[in-house]
């Protein structure tokens, strides 16, 4: 086992690290999507609702981000 494989961050740890950033990105995108929905007559998504919805929706988004980052780290390490 090489040093790169021994010091590998698992996806779970990366997900825990990146959850606040991913959930914030989801909240911003939900709020902006709510502003667009307003043009077609749907109700406005308030910032509070966007934040509340981003808590559960941030979990799969964070998992995808963590897998993407893990792949980039593996590519950089040559694993």
Give 20 or 79, the one with higher predicted confidence. Answer: 20
Q: Is residue 3 part of a domain?
A: no
**pLDDT category of residue 8 using cuts at 50, 70 and 90:** confident
Q: What is the total count of domains within the chain?
A: 1
- Cα distances (angstroms) measured from residue 23 to each of 26, 40, 59, 72, 73: 5, 26, 7, 21, 22
For 28-72, what is each residue's pLDDT tens digit?
999 999 999 988 899 889 999 999 999 999 999 999 999 999 999
What pLDDT score does 3 carry?
57
What crossing angle do the helices spanning 47-77 and 11-38 adopt, rounded to 10°? 140
Q: Is residue 41 part of a domain?
A: yes
Q: Is residue 58 part of a domain?
A: yes
Q: Which domain holds residue 18?
A: 10-77
Q: How much is the pTM?
A: 0.82
Q: Tell me the average pLDDT across 8-33.
A: 95
């Amino acid at each position: 086992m090489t040093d790169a494989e021994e010091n590998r961050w698992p996806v779970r740890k990366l997900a825990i690290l990146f959850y606040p950033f991913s959930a914030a990105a989801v909240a911003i995108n939900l709020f902006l999507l709510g502003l667009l929905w307003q043009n077609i007559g749907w109700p406005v998504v308030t910032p509070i609702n966007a934040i509340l919805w981003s808590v559960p929706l941030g979990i799969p988004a964070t998992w995808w981000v963590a897998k993407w980052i893990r792949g980039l780290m593996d590519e950089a390490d040559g694993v």
